[in-house]
Structure 1
Amino acid sequence: MFDEGGCMRWRWILVVIVISSVFSRAAPIQMKEGDSVVVAGRAARVVRYDVLPYIETSFSRVCVYDRYDNPKLAELRTKYNLEKVVSEGDTELEKQSLLMAWAHRAFEFGDPTAPVGDAPANYAGLRNALQILELAKKEHKFFCVQYASLLVSASASLGWICRPLGHSTHTWTEMWSNQYGRWVHFDPTGNYYWVKGDVPIDTYTAQRCLLSGAKDLAVIVGGKKTDREIRKYAAYSYIPNTNWLDAGPAYGKAYRLTVPQTASLPEGEDPGKEVLFPLNQAALSCEEHPEGLEVRIRTMTPNFKTFLVRVDGKEWQEQGERCVWKLHGGKNTLEAKSVNLFGVEGYPSTVVLEVK
C-alpha cells in the first residue's frame, strides 16, 4: 500500500541531509600575496597568488563562440595555411600580431559596393571570411568590418577568441591574450594594437588611461612602437558572438559602452567590468583538507578540453575540477591552466605557499 506520509517523511529527511551537507562544507580560504594563513593546523605565508577569477556578467552569458568542430574553421585554417602564417612568432602576442598582419594584407581597403569590371557588387553586409577571401581574389575591396570579420574567424580557427567591437564609423576587435591574461585591442584595418608600458591593453582600459593622463601609452604597428596617438572612443559596442562564418553578427544583443569622461570613477561605477571578464582561466578556490588543501578549479573556456595541474614544478598532469594539494614544510607551488580542444593553453594560475 502506498504510504504517502512515509514518502513525505523521506523527502524531509533528504532535504535536511542536503541542506546540512551544503552548510557544513568549509568556506574557501581567502588568499592574497603576503597573507598569513593556517592550513591543516600549520602556519603558512602566501608568497605568490596569481589567479584570474571566474566572473559572469550579463554580457558574458549571451556570448557565443565558434565551435571546434565547425568544418568551415578547418577549411579556413588549412586553405590559407594559417598555422604557417603564425609559425614565426615566438610568443602568443607575436603569433596573434602576425595573424592580424595577414588579415590586414588580405585585400585592399575600399568600397565593397563598387563593381569590379562588369560584375555588380553589393558586399557591404558580408561577414563570412571564406567568401570575403574568395572575392578578394577577384580584386573586390572591403571596409573595416570585413577586416574584423576575417580576423575574428581566422583567430577562431586557431583556437583563439577574437571578439568584434565597433561604432557607427569603424569596426575593430579584441583578442583574448592567454599570455597576459587580458583582452587586447587589435585593429586589423590599421594593423596595430595598443600598449601601456610594455603590456598590451584593451579598448576600454586605453580610453580610461587617456582620461587619467597616462604618459606611457603607445601604438604598436607591425610589431614596432610608433609615435601615433591612441584613437579616442567615447562610446562603442561589443558584439557577443564570434561565429560569423555561420550566423553573422548578433547586433541585437550587443553591449553598448559609454566611457565615463572623468579621470576617476565613483566606487562600483565602472562599466568596463561588464565586458572585461576573463576567459580560459583556471580560477582556484581552496578549502581545508586533512593533508593540505582541496582545490576547486573553474573556467570559462570555449571548447574546453581539460585542466592541467602541476605541483612543485613537476610534470603537468590532466586533472578534473577538484584535486587535493598535499602540503609539506617549506615552499609549495601549485600551477593550473585550462586547455581547449585546439590545444591552446590558458593563462596559468600560480599559488606559492611557504609552510612552517
Structure 2
Amino acid sequence: SKEYGKWIMIDTGGDSNDQTKATYYYVKNNVPMSALEIHNAWINQDFDQVGIQPEQAAKRFENDVISRAQLFERFCIHLRNDELRTLSPGEPEHGLGSYHYDGYLWWKDGHTLPHPWFSKHSGREGDFYWTLNHVGIYLSRSNHPEMLNVDLSTQMPNIKGYLVQMDGNDWISTPNHFNWKLRLGENQLQVKTVNKLGREGKGNYLAIECR
C-alpha cells in the first residue's frame, strides 16, 4: 500500500458464497494489516481494535473476526509475480485441500514450526515484506571533480523507468545510471519510479552542499 507505506493482506477469495463475494482485509485501529500482523494477532490472541473491512465483508464475517484469523496461523508467499502471464509453476489446483506446490516461502517462528513436506521457510520479516516502490540512490566519484556518478535501484514490480528532478526543475526520465553535475551552494536531487501502468512510486531525496 503506497498510502500506508506497508504490505497489506487482501483476501480476494475469502467467501465461498458467490452471492456475497466478500473480498476482505483485516484492520487494526483502521489501518490495514499484513498477513504477519494477522498471524501475530492470532498467536497472541490480541484482537484489541482489530476488525474486518469493507462494510459488506464486515457484516458477512461479523462473528468470525477472531476465528477467521486462524487461517493465518500458517501463511506463505508466492516467489513470483507473473501470474497474469502464466499459471506455471504453481499449485495444480485450488479448493478445500492442502497445498502441494513446493515453491512457496512459508513463515516460521517459535509458535509455527516448519512442515517437513515444504522446503522453503523463513522467520525473517524482510524476506516477506521487502521495500517496494522506493528508490535506492548510490553516489560515487567520477573522473570530473564537479560531477558525481549516480546509480539507482528499486524493487518496483513491472518497472517502466525512473524520473529525476534536479534543483526543483521539471521531472524528466532518466536511466538507472547518470552523471550529476554539481554547482556551488546546495544541490538537490529527487528520484522516483514509475511502472508500466503509469503509477509512480515514492520519491527519494538528497541534497549536497558544495563550497
TM-score, structure 1 normalization: 0.39
Percent identity between matched residues is: 25
Query: Which residue, out of 78, 86, 101, partners 1:239?
Result: 78
- Structure 1 residue aligned with 2:10: 186
Q: Tell me how far 1:273 sits from its aligned partner.
A: 2.2
Query: Which residue, out of 186, 194, 198, partners 1:339?
Result: 194
- Residue 280 of structure 1 pairs with residue 133 of structure 2: yes
Query: Which residue, out of 161, 164, 168, partners 1:306?
Result: 161
Q: Tell me how far 1:319 sits from its aligned partner.
A: 0.5
One-letter amino acid of the counterpart of residue 69, structure 2: R
Q: Which deviations, in whole Å up to 9, do the C-alpha atoms of 1:183-219 show, x marking residues without a partner?
A: 2111222433234556534211443466678787533
Segments of 4+ moved more than 6 angstroms: 212-216
Query: 2 CA distance for matches of 1:275 and 1:355?
Result: 40
Q: Tell me how far 1:238 sits from its aligned partner.
A: 1.6
One-letter amino acid of the counterpart of residue 9, structure 2: H
Distance 1:221 1:294, change over 3 A: same
- Structure 2 residue aligned with 1:219: 51
Query: Which residue, out of 97, 104, 107, partners 1:254?
Result: 104
Q: Tell me how far 1:314 sits from its aligned partner.
A: 2.5
8 Å Cα contact 1:239-1:249 kept in structure 2: no
8 Å Cα contact 1:204-1:259 kept in structure 2: no
Q: Secondary structure, in 3 states, of the residue corresponding to 2:169?
A: coil
- Structure 1 residue aligned with 2:34: 202
One-letter amino acid of the counterpart of residue 203, structure 1: A
Q: Which deviations, in whole Å up to 9, do the C-alpha atoms of 1:163-192 show, x marking residues without a partner?
A: xxxxxxxxxxxxxx3444432111222433
Q: Secondary structure, in 3 states, of the residue corresponding to 1:284?
A: strand
Q: Tell me how far 1:244 sits from its aligned partner.
A: 5.4
Distance 1:247 1:191, change over 3 A: closer
8 Å Cα contact 1:306-1:339 kept in structure 2: yes
Query: 1 CA distance for matches of 2:110 and 2:167?
Result: 44
Query: 1 CA distance for matches of 2:148 and 2:177?
Result: 10
Q: Secondary structure, in 3 states, of the residue corresponding to 2:125?
A: helix
Q: Secondary structure, in 3 states, of the residue corresponding to 1:302?
A: coil
Query: 2 CA distance for matches of 1:286 and 1:215?
Result: 45
Q: Which deviations, in whole Å up to 9, do the C-alpha atoms of 1:106-147 show, x marking residues without a partner?
A: xxxxxxxxxxxxxxxxxxxxxxxxxxxxxxxxxxxxxxxxxx
Q: How does 1:22-101 map to 2 (within 5 A)?
A: none
CA RMSD, Structure 1 to Structure 2 (Å) = 3.7
Unaligned runs of 5+ in 2: 15-21, 91-100, 113-121
Q: How does 1:1-20 map to 2 (within 5 A)?
A: none
Unaligned runs of 5+ in 1: 1-176, 263-268
| Corresponding residue pairs, total | 173
Q: Which deviations, in whole Å up to 9, do the C-alpha atoms of 1:67-120 show, x marking residues without a partner?
A: xxxxxxxxxxxxxxxxxxxxxxxxxxxxxxxxxxxxxxxxxxxxxxxxxxxxxx
8 Å Cα contact 2:139-2:151 kept in structure 1: yes
8 Å Cα contact 1:280-1:346 kept in structure 2: yes
Q: Which of structures 1 and 2 has the larger relative contact order (alpha carbons within 8 angstroms, sep 6+)?
A: 1
Query: 2 CA distance for matches of 1:198 and 1:320?
Result: 39
Give 1 or 2 for the bigger CA radius of gyration: 1
TM-score, structure 2 normalization: 0.61
Greater fraction helix: 1
